[in-house]
Chain A
Amino acid sequence: MHSAIRVPAILLCAVALTHCGGGEKPAEEAVRTGPVVSPDLVNGATVTGKVGFSGAAPAPKPIDMSANPQCERAHKDHPVTAEDIVVNPNHTLRNVFVWIKTGVPALNWAVPSTPAALDQKFCMYQPHVLGAMTGQAVSIANDDPVNHNIHPIPQTNEEWNDVQSPGEAPKLRTFPKQEVMIPIKCNVHPWMRSYLGIVSHPFFAVTAEDGSFTIKGLPPGTYTVQAWHEKFGTQEQQVTVGAKESKAVDFSYSYKE
């Protein structure tokens, strides 16, 4: 082969291969030492609130499931829309993850024995936003007649990608490091996306159909409460609570076209 051909070919291939490398910054795993502590639901404080929404609610974005007829048939009676922005009738936001970001004593908080449940149903993740403690099992089920792959894309926990065929038993996975939030996607059905918040303590909630949240059993203290929404980002507020005290912390997001 003449050098006029060989040299550029080898050079270009070498340039391409030099891009390999890199890696993610490791994160600290949750340290669990000392006696196991559960939230004191009797004497502890409660933080409640609502996540409001101002402005005109954006039109829900339709999802095209024609790439998979079985998924499409599951929604034949009603069009399915994206759940990234769900505005409730009372002008509040659904699917907002609210958690105590700072101020929680670094105790060995009891990990719930019940798994946090994430279901794949009608080719959608249910719920769209979910919270779990570090080390708590997350149960992922497939109630669809189609194949799904489950692909969390964390930044600090380990990334993985697993298959789940119809009728297969739920998969139990744990995430050892605190991370808010971890996107979970299905590459077979690219509209399927869910978010999982992993927290090292039990003080977190996801807003319900009326936009409200409740966090119970907090020890007296001053806390930073953070609200996270996948499109609108995060907001934080400080709150100080005493024993048996209940305080309201409201958030508000707005949308501009």
Chain B
Amino acid sequence: MHLNTVGQLWVRRYTPVLAFCTLLLVVAGGLVTSNDAALSVPDWPLSWGHLVPVLEGGIRYEFAHRTLGLVVILLTAVLAFRLRTALAWTALGAILTQAALGGVLVRFLDPKAAAIAHAAIAQCCFGLTVLLWLDARDGIAVRESMPAPARIAAAVALFAQTILGAAVRHGVVGPAPHIAGAIAATGLVMWAAFPVLIQQMDNAALRRPAMLLLSITFSQIFLGIAAWMSRVATLDAPQPMPVMVLFTVAHVAVGSLAFGAALALAAAPALPREGMAAA
């Protein structure tokens, strides 16, 4: 980055705010889907023909999601024009694509494939903001060594899990592939994180993301079980029940955090042994 010290400080403070807002956007999207409110506003980009619709019932969730989306677009655009890096432009492109896909979902009545893609790109957007944050903090974009394969595999597996989770939520597949994916992803996370804890426990830059990734992943398993059980228990309910909404949205949000932690571990400085191997 070609920024002076004041600029670097600004970016270091700005990027976590952006990542947090993007996570909030993911949560808002989860609330829309879980409350079955995706098509409560049938037009786009206006809402019921207005900039601000009457906020009632499911419209509240959908409109909050759109408003947060606009906030994240503006925040990302400010950062992209400030940094002018490929990573920042990619993040801006991803969030703009995501907004356009949101419009497609509304205009084409929530086709399942597009809804799953919307959920997947949401994870991309959050992951990119995490990378922007890490880059501002540690300068990962100028690093020359490749991350360890296990860490890349863990990040890819967790991302794939978000796609499978979206497919389950939208009724495209049953829970079995998502459960199998959870087992595989957990194994890959342990493969990526345990060597760090065993060999590099005194290296805080590695230890922190590794511990974070492990704790979030194990929390996510229990949240997934809770989300599924609450869904089954309220299957006959006449409307989305709060317990189901709570666990499902928490599962979605913590899934994003797990993916972010995996990216943080993958982007962390290489182990000395890995560096020698690469050399």
Contacts and interface: CB of A to CB of B under 8 A. Distances in A.
Given A67-B57, A149-B40, A188-B58, A5 B131 contact: yes
A159 B109 CA distance: 8
Contacts of A25: none
Q: Chain B CB within 10 Å — which of A68, A162, A185 has the most?
A: A68
B146 interface: yes
Q: Chain B CB within 10 Å — which of A146, A151, A185, A187 has the most?
A: A187
A165 B86 CA distance: 46
B42 A1 contact: no
Contacts of A84: 236, 238
Given A2-B141, A61-B236, A160-B109, A190 B36 contact: yes
Interface string A20-43: 111000000000000000000000
Task: Classify chain A: how many residues form its interface, as a range.
Answer: 35 or more
B54 interface: yes
Given A61-B238, A159-B109, A9 B59 contact: no
Contacts of A20: 113-114, 117
Interface stretch (B74-82, B152-160, B206-214): B152-160
Contacts of B42: 149, 151, 161-163
A256 interface: no
A154 B163 CA distance: 26
A167 B112 CA distance: 33
Nearest to A160: B109
Contacts of B49: 163
Contact of A8 (B38, B112, B152): B152
Interface string B211-242: 00000000000000000000000001111100
Contacts of B123: 12
A2 B159 contact: no
B142 A2 contact: yes
B48 interface: yes
A78 B123 CA distance: 45
A6 to B, nearest CB: 7
Interface string A217-254: 00000000000000000000000000000000000000
A16 B113 CA distance: 9
Interface string A63-97: 11001101100000000011010000000000000
Nearest to B155: A8
Interface of A: 1-6, 8-9, 11-13, 15-17, 19-22, 61, 63-64, 67-68, 70-71, 81-82, 84, 146-147, 149, 151, 159-163, 165, 185, 187-191, 193
Interface of B: 35-43, 48-49, 53-54, 56-60, 85-87, 90, 94, 109, 111-114, 116-117, 120-121, 123-124, 127-128, 131, 135, 140-147, 152, 155-156, 159-160, 163, 236-240, 266-267
What are the nearest 9 A-B pairs in CB distance? Answer: A16-B120, A82-B238, A187-B40, A188-B57, A191-B239, A1-B86, A190-B36, A161-B42, A187-B39
